[in-house]
Structure 1
Amino acid sequence: MTGEVLYLSGPMTGLPGFNYPAFNAEAARLRALGYTVENPAENPEPTCKSWAGYMRIGLLQLLRCNVIVLLPGWQGSRGARIERFIARILDMRIVYAGEI
């Protein structure tokens, strides 16, 4: 175990299955390597069922982490760009999926 807590960030909106298979596969791979992973694809649906509700949950997760892992296509996701921006401000390590 490295002590690092990783947050997965990437596109969801408009993708089949909200891209959960890609999130879940990367979470499983990283966990098998001994990392603690915060995976927004595992979150319950917020009561409001809105994009903002999902983002609020995800941002709370992000703040508990010290590394953000960007999944393919993150650049096209408004939420992932916001998460990356916050990670940069907080001096978190930013890596791309597959680099670990």
Structure 2
Amino acid sequence: MTARHRIIYLSGPMTGMPELNFPAFHAMTAQLRAAGHTVTNPAELNPDGGCWNECMRRDIAALMECDTIAKLPGWHTSKGARLELHIAERLGMAIVNAHDLISKEAV
């Protein structure tokens, strides 16, 4: 895969995680942006957390503006991330592991 600019939605577990897993979301967002990508980070969309349904409505609307979804570790344990991945898969979006995307571009 050649490096190219992507519009990435970052997906992973939040509910039940320490600090809502925001540190992992912010760290990966910084790495992806440093690689030249546009990143939609749900932790930035919902900085105060909030009601799951309201957060997911905002997140899914933002997902629709992206061409790639990047999974954080533990995504499979999150009902929200699984929903996001299902939508992305059905819409034919690129689906990647976030860490793989960074390591491939570093080569």
TM > 0.5 fold call? yes
Q: CA deviation at 1:85?
A: 0.1
CA distance in 2, matches of 1:51, 1:71: 19
Moved over 6 A (4+): none
Matches within 5 A, 1:49-88: 49-88=50-89
Matched residue, 1:26? 28
Q: Which amino acid aligns with 1:4?
A: R
Contact kept? 1:45, 1:54, Cα under 8 Å: no
Percent identity over the alignment? 48
SS at 2:10's partner residue? strand
* Number of matched pairs: 98
Matched residue, 1:37? 39
Q: CA deviation at 1:81?
A: 0.1
Question: Which blocks of at least 5 consecutive residues in structure 2 are unaligned?
Answer: 102-107
SS at 1:21's partner residue? helix
Matched residue, 1:5? 7
TM-score, normalisation: structure 1? 0.92
Structure with the bigger percentage of helix: 2
Q: CA RMSD in A?
A: 1.5
